[in-house]
Amino acid sequence: MIIELGQSEASLNVTRQVDGPLIRKLTVSNFRNYSKASLEPSKQMVVLLGNNGAGKTNLLEAISMLSPGRGLRRAQLTQLNRAKTDARNENNTIEAQRQWAVSVRVESDGFQTTIGTGCATAVADGKSAKRLVKINGDIVKSQISLNDYLSVSWLTPQMDRLFIEGGTQRRRFLDRLVFAFDALHSKRVNRYNHALRERKKLLQSWTQDTSWLNAIENSLAEMGVAIAVTRQDLIKRLSPIIGKNMGLFPSAIISMEGEVENWLEEDSALEVEQRFREELKKSRANGTSESNQIPGPHRSEFNCLHSSNKMEASLCSTGEQKALLVSIMLSHAILRKKECGSAPILLLDEISAHLDERRRSSLFELLQNLESQIWMTGTERVAFSDILKTAEVYNISEGKIV
């Protein structure tokens, strides 16, 4: 797909080949503060402008729901429903609240695919909400199928605190990067965390089923080592790229640190699995049931250093932390383009925050070179002055696209 960019600054005045998928139409209904809305972008860069609370991030979140998982806010399904109103129809009766739905028409390699998802079951009579996924109108069994059509990555203002918050957020961040290459990684992580909870519950019960404990711990060892190996493999492939030819964004040194990772430096994966099992049995004998007292990838730490001064990211300024995060995300997109043929669709919420004018200009040039579709939000039009002539700009106001 060729995207013709308009006459802007010389560095951005080029015709770009977009190798990855393009969202040609986005439709949302009963989603967050939107009753019904749609837009049909035709360009590589899409900018959503509006005041805080207008609904810009909600549109990015809607797109993020077209990838497996819980989206960029990690919301429960029912939290995505539009706030209930006592809207009356033409018969003057109150309509039942409809469930949220999101759909996109995606173009890739000259073919168009319609992808939809939504909340299929209301929470009533004790029933849990269910998520429905459709590809070209056909229901698919697993969310993982979405990865065959779209790869989506995002940066949000909440992630600006990634390096100073708890390790859980950093592990989750890395796992999403892994998931862009390994569709089963998320399933392994979810099953591993479920097994941790089951083990704790069993150890705290009056009667402990030894055979069931053995089965759970075998599963923990197998999946735990697989998770650690997959994370380490991505870091190994990503490290040579981070910060190279990144304009004004710094290079970074990233690593994963933990007991399982240390064992893998000395022994084979099969040997580490056996060692993991032995440690779990040993902790069982000591009466340990808490997950924070046993080894495993659930306790591993994702580390990041500023390569210039070797300073830990958590000790860098807010601006440098944001720059390091951008560098990692751009490097990840480049790696995916190199290995899979196309970079992911990027959702960049309030991307101009903590970036000065020079870094913003550098970022926009790097994004153009990614040759994938980029969605950005902001409150100030001037922050996007470098690309206003080449991007598609929408104004968002109170849940409406104007």
- Region 102-127: mean pLDDT is 82
Could you tell me the CATH number of the domain that includes residue 46?
Answer: 3.40.50.300
Per DSSP bridges, beta strands 131-135 and 138-139 are antiparallel
Q: What is the pLDDT of residues 192-205, one digit of tens each?
A: 999 999 999 888 88
Q: Residues 400, 283: one domain? A: no
Q: Answer whether residue 180 is part of any domain.
A: yes
Residues 6+ apart with CB under 8 A from 208: 202
Q: Residues 147, 181: one domain? A: no
Of 341, 365, 390, the one marking the end of a domain is: 341
Q: Residues 187, 305: one domain? A: yes
1-5, 23-27, 114-118, 367-371: which has the minimum mean pLDDT? Answer: 1-5
Q: Residue 209, exposed/middle/buried by CB under 10 A (0-12, 13-18, 19+)? A: exposed
Full residue range of the structural domain in which residue 333 is found: 163-341
Q: Residues 248, 295: one domain? A: yes
Q: Answer whether residue 158 is part of any domain.
A: no
Could you tell me the CATH number of the domain that includes residue 280?
Answer: 1.20.1050.90
Instruction: Give the total number of structural domains in the chain.
Output: 2
Q: What is the mean pLDDT of the chain?
A: 89
Q: Answer whether residue 359 is part of any domain.
A: yes
Residues in the chain: 402
9-18, 36-45, 145-154, 211-220: which has the minimum mean pLDDT? Answer: 9-18
Q: Answer whether residue 156 is part of any domain.
A: no
Q: Residues 50, 92: one domain? A: yes
Q: Residues 203, 324: one domain? A: yes
With vertex at residue 158, the alpha carbon angle to CA 152 and CA 159, rounded to the nearest 5 degrees, is 60
Main-chain phi, psi angles of 125, to 5 degrees = 55, 35
**What stretch of H or E contains 3?**
strand 2-4
Q: Residues 188, 323: one domain? A: yes
Of 341, 360, 394, the one marking the end of a domain is: 341
Of 295, 326, 341, the one marking the end of a domain is: 341
Q: Band of the pLDDT at 15, cuts 50, 70, 90?
A: very low
Q: What is the pLDDT of residues 24-72, one digit of tens each?
A: 999 999 999 999 999 999 999 999 999 999 999 999 999 999 999 999 9
Q: Residues 28, 174: one domain? A: no
Q: Residues 10, 109: one domain? A: yes
pLDDT value, residue 289? 72
Residues 6+ apart with CB under 8 A from 388: 8, 47, 381
Q: Residues 263, 375: one domain? A: no
Q: Answer whether residue 157 is part of any domain.
A: no
Q: Residues 309, 365: one domain? A: no
Q: Residues 378, 275: one domain? A: no
CB 104 within 8 A of CB 94: no
